[in-house]
Amino acid sequence: DTVLTQSPALAVSPGERVTISCRASESVSTLMHWYQQKPGQQPKLLIYLASNLESGVPARFSGSGSGTDFTLTIDPVEADDTATYYCQQSWNDPTFGGGTKLELK
Amino acid sequence: EVQLVESGGGLVQPGRSLKLSCAASGFTFSDYAMAWVRQAPKKGLEWVATIIYDGSSTYYRDSVKGRFTISRDNAKSTLYLQMDSLRSEDTATYYCARHITIAAMGYFDYWGQGVMVTVSS
């Protein structure tokens, strides 16, 4: 299985720019996707195929990367963005990163 | 509006069986692959199984192969997960998700609210 590694947590102030990283144990080309999960809710797709913004998702969210290193950027961060963010690869059987919990100061 | 509504969860003893259902609406169910993804309490997400649009092919994670069966009834727009020989490590919230299978195994664009399965004696 392809292992995806994410930093466990981040804390930022509203209005700042935040980057959430995801590193794959092997190249996944651009087959990387990002989800947001708020407490008690189901995950929500934000970005697909590394850099494509899902319909209805604010343009404050963007994705980049290829190969083994990927980034989700939120600029500017808003209070409502408090959530856990997961990356997921589809190069082979789907696997998810451990999630990055984003907290606002 | 796409809606996915899971049902069938509950408390079950180790070794017993349970069948989950997911009722879909708001899209042409028979055009899409569907999947189950689970999340153990306070843990991350884990893909469980996928079935392609017409049910002719299925895919499973290794830890559930031979114990879980994913199926669908396109006439009823319903997805199922038959879970046999349940283990404590299967305890999780199970999400039904629409699976966009472009570019290999793809991604999950809509998710249900989830249903809790607890395996305990």
Question: Residue-wise pLDDT tens for chain A (105 aa)?
Answer: 999 999 899 999 999 999 999 999 999 999 999 999 999 999 999 999 999 999 999 999 999 999 999 999 999 999 999 999 999 999 999 999 999 999 999
- Determine the pLDDT at residue B103: 64
B113 touches chain A (CB under 8 A): yes
Phi and psi at A28, nearest 5°, equal: -120, 20
pLDDT in the model for residue B105:
77
Task: Please report the pLDDT score of residue B102 as a whole number.
Answer: 78
Question: B13-33, pLDDT tens digit by residue?
Answer: 999 999 999 999 999 999 999
What backbone phi and psi angles, to 5 degrees, belong to B32?
A: -125, 145
* Closest listed residue to residue A64, CA positions, set A53, A76, A80: A53
**Pair B6, B24: CB distance under 8 Å:** no
Task: Give the C-alpha separation, B4 to A66, whole Å.
Answer: 32
pLDDT of residue A2: 96
Task: Tell whether A46 lies on the interface with B, counting CB pairs under 8 A.
Answer: no
Question: Across the interface, which of B47, B112, B114 has its CB nearest the CB of A94?
Answer: B47
Q: Return the percentage of chain B with pLDDT > 90, whole number.
A: 96
Cis before A14? omega within 30 = no
Q: Which residues of A touch B59 (CB under 8 A)?
A: 93
Contact B107 A93 (CB under 8 A): no
